[in-house]
Amino acid sequence: MDVIVPTKINVMNGSDIKIPCTFTSCYKIDANKFVMNWTYHESVNDTERVLLAYYKKKGMVALRPDRFADRVQFAGNLEKNDVSITLLDVQEEDEGIYNCYVINPPDRIHGRGAVKLNVFTELPPPRDSTIAVAIGASVGGVLALLILSMVVVKFLRHHLKRDLSSEEKMEEEGKLEAEGAAEEGTKQP
């Protein structure tokens, strides 16, 4: 069994957030054997608190510790192997690690996914891309100059080669004319 969750979610303080969790299994869900729960802990060393669980006789049950009150809701669809939750009115204290546990017998492997929730009180500043643009423009300019200089050198070499071959042809023609005149001069007595 594989449990699929994002490794990290960023959320603004006071907003609602869906924490996704889906799983793959070789077997259909049997409501009498299926087990699922969501837990929370502030850091790796803290005790986990159960937020939401699926019990075969009761179905989905929100276990509301004082900290979360009525703010945790099931947002998934068991028929689609989705056991996602929604956390309403996110508070700074909600930052931590959320774990999604799934057991779907006869699968022998128990699935677990951990999501790190980061809560922000204000939007992070926009990235300043001025340096990236300057570097890109500089590199682009250098490449353009390099290509232009290569084209100019190629053009000059081509014309120089053409001029040299023209001069050689003219010299050859001049030699041939001189030889032809010399031959004619020797023929006329």
Q: What is the pLDDT of residue 57?
A: 76
What pLDDT was estimated at residue 12? 95
pLDDT averaged over 10-residue windows placed end to end, the chain, 189 residues? 94 96 91 90 85 84 78 91 94 94 90 94 71 79 85 81 68 61 58
In the chain, domain spans: 2-120, 129-176
Residue 171 has a pLDDT of 65
Per-residue pLDDT, 174: 63
User: What pLDDT was estimated at residue 11?
Assistant: 95
pLDDT value at residue 181:
57
Residue 97 has a pLDDT of 95
Supply the CATH classification number for the domain 2-120. Answer: 2.60.40.10
Tens digit of pLDDT for each residue in 113-160?
999 999 998 766 676 677 777 788 888 888 888 888 888 888 888 777
Kindly give, in sequence order, each residue whose CB lies less than 8 Å from that of residue 38, ignoring residues fewer than 6 positions away: 19, 21, 50, 51, 52, 53, 72, 83, 85, 98, 99, 100, 101
